[in-house]
Chain A
Amino acid sequence: MDPRNMPDMRTPLARAMGLGSAKEGVGAWWAERVSAVALVPLALWFAASIIAHTGSDYATFIVWLKTPLAAILMILLLIALFYHTALGLQVVIEDYVHSATKFAAVIAVRLGCCALATAGAVAILRIALSD
């Protein structure tokens, strides 16, 4: 008999209990909420800035991004945004992917968000600190 087709003979209670409680999960839930609270003002500020700068040329945009407030808030936005994105996408992957691909996908998302946040921050610093 093919071992892959062997019936699951666990009791219903054993199936429901699975591997037991991980005894953790509140950390990720809380972090998603904290990053969300940070994103409300930061994202609104960003949207308002973009709208206010509609039609401005490259030079005006750079001058604005060089100001300390804009540079600092943009970096904070990137941190909050990619932290929130990584946590959110991880939850989506865990919901729908149930094979071993799940772990690869979660790692890819986390590392990708770190890389993108770093790239964005370096770009902002390059603009803000250059003359």
Chain B
Amino acid sequence: MMPSPTITRPRPLSPNIQIYRPQLTSVLSILNRITGIILSGCAVVLVVWLVAAAWGPHAYAPVQAAIASWIGRIVLFGATFAFFLHLCGGIRHLVWDTVHGFELRSIYISGWSIVAASVVLTVAAWVVSALMGG
């Protein structure tokens, strides 16, 4: 068995993420992680918002104004999409944990379904919100 040449020139590592084809499997998985991290940020904002509300209307007003500003709304729209994608993706993961839905056909159908469902739910949430008086 040849020793690994670490003192002499090391063997090159074959490319991985640089050349591997993005597929529905890996793309939805990394999106679930990215949306999760985004939602962690949203959790912090949630606590800031609650603490501001507990502090009284004078503390709550600037926080509410920031959320209601046009940049706040864009962020909130993105956060809503991230929320629904992570929620649907999470449910898909919970189903996998019961060892169901592992055939490739099911993986692909469930994958496209959660993308579609997330878009529909995001749009629906904002439409209902607009109708409610936003």
Contacts and interface: CB of A to CB of B under 8 A. Distances in A.
25 contacts: A7-B3, A8-B4, A8-B6, A9-B3, A36-B90, A36-B94, A37-B94, A44-B87, A47-B83, A47-B125, A51-B128, A52-B132, A54-B130, A54-B132, A55-B132, A58-B57, A58-B60, A58-B64, A85-B40, A88-B36, A89-B37, A89-B40, A92-B33, A123-B50, A123-B53
Q: Sorted from nearest, which 5 A-B pairs have the closest CB atoms?
A: A55-B133, A123-B54, A54-B134, A7-B6, A123-B50
Interface in B34-91: 36-37, 39-40, 43-44, 46-47, 50-51, 53-54, 57, 60-61, 64, 80, 83, 87, 90-91
Interface of B: 3-4, 6-7, 33, 36-37, 39-40, 43-44, 46-47, 50-51, 53-54, 57, 60-61, 64, 80, 83, 87, 90-91, 93-94, 97, 125, 128-130, 132-134
Interface in A77-131: 78, 81-82, 85, 88-89, 92, 116-117, 119-120, 122-124, 126-127
A65 interface: yes
A99 B42 CA distance: 28
Q: Interface extent on A, as a size class? A: 35 or more
B51 A119 contact: yes
Contacts of B43: 81-82, 85, 116
A31 B33 CA distance: 18
Interface string A1-45: 000010111000000000000000000000001001101100110
